[in-house]
Structures are given as structure tokens and as C-alpha cells.
Amino acid sequence: MPSVKLAAIVKSNAYGHGFLEISKLALEGKADVLGVNSLDEAILLRKNFPTQPILIMGEIFQKSNYYKILSDENFWIVVSRLDDIAYLASLKPRPKIHLKVDTGMSRLGHSGKAMEEIIQSIAKYGYPLDGVMTHFASTEDFTEHSYSMKQLQLFQHFSQFLESYGYTQLMRHAASSASTMLFEQAHLDMVRIGISLYGLWPSLETRLSLSMLGKNFSLKPVLTWKTKIVHTQNVPSGTYVGYGSTFKTVYPSKIGVIPVGYHEGLNRRLSNQGYVVILNERAPIIGRVCMNMSMVDITHIKEAQIGTDVILIGKMGEEEISADLIAGLTNTINYDVVTSIQKDIPRIIVD
């Protein structure tokens, strides 16, 4: 709906895609708000986007020396506790204050009677509020969504409770990527789009749930992670490769070395089971992934040489290595795969 605002979530280096690069693209794409986790992230954004509304969702009050930085009316700060609300309310100019309600995540915010008492105290002292929010705990994990619906009902209860104390103009937001796609009733006043902003699915269950509802969504990953071969050597059959001698060649082999290891974000669990794509061909990762290097078998790729491009995530020809594929091989999720890419690796925007 046109009245629903869009918060583009760019925390954690834009889920590994490049913090400032993605923020600029999101704003060019008419995002209303940029969402971050920390005050450090918000400060960096503020230096580059002087007046842009920034939603700060993580805990920030352990850094008391940053309090003066919070006097920014375009900071939207998520708050769980009464004393933090009191402090923010005293600032001039003051930031926007968004109250976090725990409806079943058991992370930030409060629930039940404790939440009602906090709301009563906010009203008693006349503290200002600009928004109220919650976060769904398990929408991505199931195709049956009764728990999410229970959370939404609880959120509506607390929203109405706030209204009963005169807080009638609050911005309400609850939905992240999966719940935005699945539950139109959860859109409220703003949606917070994270993983799907980057063309990645929150989960297989989300795709199945959408299919069951007859909803058609198409997502295309925006990230390609590539490197180059930096060294090659020919070795005879029976040669051990890498730390621990965990791989042994069974035929005369040509080995390519790439300057990427687990420090750069290539999961060590890909040792002897992952692969890369070189010149439209799969090249198995052989031996253990090292801290800053990995070895691949390029025996069958005759034209591969020093300087040849190597795809770590992305598509080349008919071959593709997706974040989901890597997640399956390493027993994790695609969020973990992309956010693990070392932040100092250059991110280049291409058309």
C-alpha cells in the first residue's frame, strides 16, 4: 500500500553487501528509512546522509559517551526501558522514540504485565513516543503461522493499550521480509525489509508458505563474489594437499590457489566439499580452506591460469553457487553466508 513506509535494513554491512553502497541504492530506490543495529552504524550513515531518517534497532545505551550524538530528530531509536525513554525525552532536539514490545521473541522489550506497567509509567510522566514496534520470532521457520498471528494479536493489544493513554498517532511496525510477503495485515505503518532487499529468501519455508497462499514472488540475488587465481602448480598422483593432508590426488592434477580463506569469509566447512566456478566449470575446493587462501582442482579446466576469474558466490554460464547452496553445505543460513564476507573486501556496483 502506498501509505506504508519502507525501511531498508542495512545493518551488518548491509548483510555483507556493502553498507554505504547499498544505503545509497536503497535511497535512490525511494526507501523512506534506513535501518541499522548500532549507533556506530548510524553515525557513519549520518556523515554521508545528513538528514535521512535512520532507525536504530539495537541496544546503544551502554555507550554513555555517545549520548550527545543522540540529539538528532531524524534518529528513530528503538527503546525497551523507561530510564532510556526519560533520557531521550530530555534531549533538545530529541530523537524519535520507538517503544519495543516483546510479543514472543524474548529478546528486547518487555511483555505482559511488565509492558503494561511501562506504558502506564510513560503516560504518567508524559514522556513522548513516536512509534511502537515488535519482531516476529518464527515466521521464517514454519509454514503454519499461528504463533506469528498470536504475536500480531498481542502487538495490537499493546497498541490499543497505548491509545487508551492518549498515544494515538504512533508509527506501528512489526513486519520484516518474510512477514511482509506473507501477512498484509502486518504491514501496519511501515515494513522493515532486510534479507529480501538483497534478493535472498528468508527461508525455504517462506517460499513454500507463499506458494500455499497462491502468492507469486520472484527474488534475484544481487551479489556476485569473485576473486582470481593467484598461483598454479602441477602435481603427480598421490600428492597431499593442504593442512592436515586431508586430500590426496588420485591422478596428475593442476592446482589453482585463490587468495580467499576463512578470514575473508569462505567457510572452513567447505573444505573438501565446496566448489567454485571458473570459466563456466565447477572446480572443487580441495584440502582445508586456509585462513587467507584455498586450493581448487583445475585439472579439467585447461585454459585456467593465473589471473583467471573465480566465482565464489554467483553465476557464470550455466553454473551457479548461491548463498543458499553454501548454507546447505555448511549447516547454516544464507544470512550467515553473506554477512561473513569480510567488510574490507571492495564492493563494486555494476549495472
The residue out of 180, 212, 244 marking a domain boundary is 212
DSSP conformational letter for 49: S
Mark whether 208 and 310 lie in a shared domain: no
Task: Look at the chain and report how many structural domains it folds into.
Answer: 2
Crossing angle of the two packed helices 19-28 and 39-48, in degrees rounded to 10? 60
**What's the pLDDT at 68?**
78
The residue out of 212, 239, 270 marking a domain boundary is 212
Instruction: Return the residue matching grid coordinates 590457489.
Output: 257
Q: Domain range holding 49?
A: 5-212
pTM to 2 decimal places: 0.95
So which residues are the catalytic ones?
11, 243
In a domain, 350, yes or no: no
Question: Which CATH number characterizes residue 98's domain?
Answer: 3.20.20.10
The residue out of 163, 190, 212 marking a domain boundary is 212
| Residue whose C-alpha is closest to residue 215's, from 224, 207, 225 | 207
Mark whether 49 and 189 lie in a shared domain: yes
Mark whether 208 and 231 lie in a shared domain: no
Mark whether 22 and 98 lie in a shared domain: yes
Q: How far is CA 250 from CA 215, 238, 239, in A?
A: 49, 6, 8
Question: Which CATH number characterizes residue 333's domain?
Answer: 2.40.37.10
**What's the pLDDT at 214?**
92
Mark whether 145 and 235 lie in a shared domain: no
In a domain, 219, yes or no: no
Mark whether 168 and 240 lie in a shared domain: no
**What's the pLDDT at 317?**
94
Q: Which amino acid is present at 181?
A: M
> What is the block-wise mean pLDDT of the chain (351 residues), using blocks of 10 residues?
89 98 98 96 97 96 71 97 94 96 97 98 98 96 94 98 98 98 97 98 95 92 98 98 98 98 98 98 98 98 98 97 98 98 96 78
In a domain, 348, yes or no: no
**What's the pLDDT at 1?**
52
In a domain, 158, yes or no: yes
Q: How far is CA 210 from CA 187, 205, 207, 216, in A?
A: 16, 9, 5, 7
Q: Kind and range of the H or E element at 121? A: helix 112-125
